[in-house]
Amino acid sequence: MATLKFCGAAGTVTGSCSHITTDTAQFMVDCGLFQGNKTTQKLNYEEFPFDPRDVEFLILTHAHIDHSGLLPKLVKHGFNGPIYATSSTVDLLEFMLLDGASIQVSNTEHLNRKKKRRGLPQVQPLYVEEDAQQTLKQLRAVDYDQWFEPKPGVNIRFWNAGHILGSASAELKLKESDSDAPMRMLFSGDIGPEEKVFHPEPDAPDGFDYLICESTYGDRDRDDYTLVKRREALRDELVEGLARGGNVVIPSFSVERSQELLHDIGGLVATGEIENAEVYLDSPLARKVTKVFMKHVGVLEDIDVDPSELFRHKNFRMVESVDESKAVNRIKKGAIIISASGMCDAGRIQHHLKANIWRDKCTILFVGYQSPGTLGHIITSGAEDVKIHGELYKIKANIRRLGNYSAHADRSELVDWITERAPVVGGLFLNHGDDDARAALRELIAKKGIDKDKIHLPAFDESFELVASGVKSTGRSGVPAYEASLKNDWHNDYAKLLLEVTNRLENAKDGQERQAILGKLLASLKE
Ligand SMILES: [Zn+2]
């Protein structure tokens, strides 16, 4: 009998982590970082709800940090088995995990300085560079479409998931004794859309006992688009942005999104549709990831330049040092600046926002999902001013959004992908999506003929026994309940309130009015 436990990405879209126990093996699929508001991030510091030393091996579906970002923590706590991933994923992780470690260390230093000033105890980083280095040593590259056997009775094969470079769905055959028929499982990982530059459509076989599928866009269909249409929309934004007489700043994820943008912008510059623009990629990680893409250029599809020319247009500037980055901050017009992080909550993008967001000739163009609580979310929600590095900035730049750069399948594509995997006889688990998305997707799938009772929406920390007749929940192991606070994190409301108070005080006509406002606030606190 096997047990499947959802240790993350259940009711949320981050912290992807599944733990599987059979009579003869114990292993994991993915080990991702929890990202989002402070309440969600705190989950990264919880103990794993199993002993990492007992885990024999791990299957990694792709390099995104919400699937791989806690691997060094797992290793730090005693996991010493192999980590199986595609060769592109292995190459991406070399930079991403070290980048992750340096972010952990610098964030902790910053936090500890604050804590010291307040007389509070110091905290340890989640992991440090040595843990990331050790994790890299445990990686094992495996090709798509090739069975491998981490231990007798466990056979695994990767399928192209079409989501990012190296992304895979993992097919498993588990055999507990010679007489039993093997149990067939499929973990979708993250699934890409049908229209995507660089990668073919997602693919996998059919006929499973258990299917575990992501549901990020389970309740949303995107507008129909083609790669050509998308590039036209990007062109219109860039042409209009540059015509305003300032810069166009694009917050972008380092992995895949930055490379898609470079590919599309390269095409627009080459055909003269965008003239005279200098294009800066200012993210150390994105620059390294771009090199991994160049190394694997042979597997990239739909590229419209000679592969040897990809990302090498003469107008492109790959910014390296901090001094070069500061020089880009001083450019007043005519620059397209792609920088990370994609949600603006860290990295060099914050400096570019500081230099451009208060200028009405500039444009900030968002091309990715903005998680609630992030700086990017605040800016795209129509705020009039924002705090960056403790300073208040008026938002005068034109704030624009372009929605078609998603790396995820939308609702119809998910439904198609799932129904193509039928029959699924034991159970279908929908994870990696919020509760509304999962519930909506369940209804749609049920209409397509999969028994609704067999479609499960696992809770965070919930375990299931995979038995012959189907699935039996065995409940949760007792990680503190957090669902309610994940959605309504008080830190964001608090930040908003502080901003409101500052605004009100600054706009008051004199000291007397300010005293009156403060008096009222204090009185209401005492109520
Ligand atoms: Zn992903």
In this predicted structure, what is the pLDDT of residue 39?
80
Q: Ligand 1 centre from 298 Cα, in Å?
A: 22
Ligand 1 centroid to 67 CA: how many Å? Answer: 7
Q: What is the pLDDT of residues 396-407, one digit of tens each?
A: 999 999 988 889
Assign 485 a pLDDT band (cuts: 50, 70, 90).
very low
pLDDT confidence tier of residue 467, bands split at 50, 70 and 90: confident
What confidence score (pLDDT) does residue 487 get? 55
Query: Could you tell me the distance, in angstroms and rounded to a whole number, from the CA of residue 373 to the centre of ligand 1?
Result: 20
CA 228 to centroid of ligand 1, rounded, Å: 24
Superfamily of domain 2-221+407-485: Ribonuclease Z/Hydroxyacylglutathione hydrolase-like (3.60.15.10)
Specify the range with the lowest mean pLDDT, choosing from 55-59, 124-128, 434-438.
434-438
Query: Given the DSSP bridges, would you call strands 208-214 and 335-339 parallel, antiparallel or unpaired?
Result: unpaired
Q: How far is the CA of 494 from the centre of ligand 1 (A)?
A: 30
The segment(s) of the chain belonging to CATH 3.60.15.10 are 2-221+407-485
pLDDT number for residue 19: 97
Q: What pLDDT does residue 446 have? A: 94
CA of 358 to the centre of ligand 1 (A): 33
Question: How confident is residue 48, by pLDDT bands cut at 50, 70 and 90?
Answer: very high
**Cα 525 to ligand 1 centre (Å):** 44
Q: Is the pLDDT of residue 482 over 70?
A: no
Q: What is the pLDDT at residue 403?
A: 83
164: CA distance to ligand 1 center in Å? Answer: 7
Tell me if 11 sits within 8 A of 435, measured CB to CB. Answer: yes
Residues of the chain with pLDDT > 90: what percent? 71
Distance CA 26, CA 9 (A): 20
Centre of ligand 1 to C-alpha 65, Å, is 8
pLDDT in tens, 347-406: 999 999 999 999 999 999 999 888 777 899 999 999 999 999 989 999 999 999 998 888
Q: pTM for the complete prediction? A: 0.89
Q: What is the pLDDT of residue 484?
A: 41
Q: Which fold has domain 227-401?
A: Rossmann fold (3.40.50)
The first and second tokens of residue 171, run together, are: 């097919």
| DSSP E strand boundaries for 356-395 | 363-366, 385-388, 391-394
Cα distances (Å, whole numbers) of residue 345 to 183, 284, 299, 447, 492 = 43, 16, 32, 40, 13
66 CA to centre of ligand 1 in angstroms: 7
The pLDDT of residue 345 is above 70: yes
Angle at 485 between CA 479 and CA 486, to 5 degrees: 85
Tens digit of pLDDT for each residue in 91-119? 999 999 999 999 899 989 988 999 999 99
**Portions of the chain given CATH number 3.40.50.10890:** 227-401
pLDDT tier at 503, thresholds 50, 70, 90: confident
Tell whether the model's pLDDT for residue 308 goes beyond 90. Answer: no
Angle at CA of residue 62, ends 59 and 64, nearest 5°? 125
8 Å CB contact between 227 and 405: no
**pLDDT value of position 481:** 46
Q: What number is the average pLDDT over the span 151-156?
A: 94
Residue with more model confidence, 250 or 307: 250
Residue 149 one-letter amino acid:
E
**What average pLDDT does this structure show over 131-147?**
98
Region 279-286 average pLDDT: 96
* pLDDT confidence of residue 486: 54
Q: Give the Å distance between the CA of 519 and the centre of ligand 1.
A: 49
Rg (CA), the chain: 24
| pLDDT bucket at 492, cuts 50 / 70 / 90 | low
Instruction: Choose the weakest-confidence range: 438-442, 494-498, 523-527.
Output: 494-498
Q: How far is the centre of ligand 1, averaged over its atoms, from the C-alpha of 21 (Å)?
A: 25
**Sheet strands side by side (includes 83-85):** 139-141, 83-85, 57-59, 26-29, 17-21, 2-8, 462-467, 470-476
Predicted pLDDT of residue 491: 65
- Cα(189) to centroid(ligand 1), Å: 8
Whole-number Å distance, alpha carbon 255 to ligand 1 midpoint, is 10
Q: Pairing between strand 2-8 and 17-21?
A: antiparallel
Ligand 1 center to residue 433 CA distance, Å? 12
Report which of residues 347 and 167 the model is more confident about.
167
52 or 474: whose pLDDT is higher? Answer: 52
Q: How many angstroms is it from 62 CA to the middle of ligand 1?
A: 7
Contacts for 492 with CB less than 8 Å, ≥ 6 apart: 37, 372, 373
CA of 152 to the centre of ligand 1 (A): 30
Tell me which of 374 and 121 has the higher pLDDT. 121
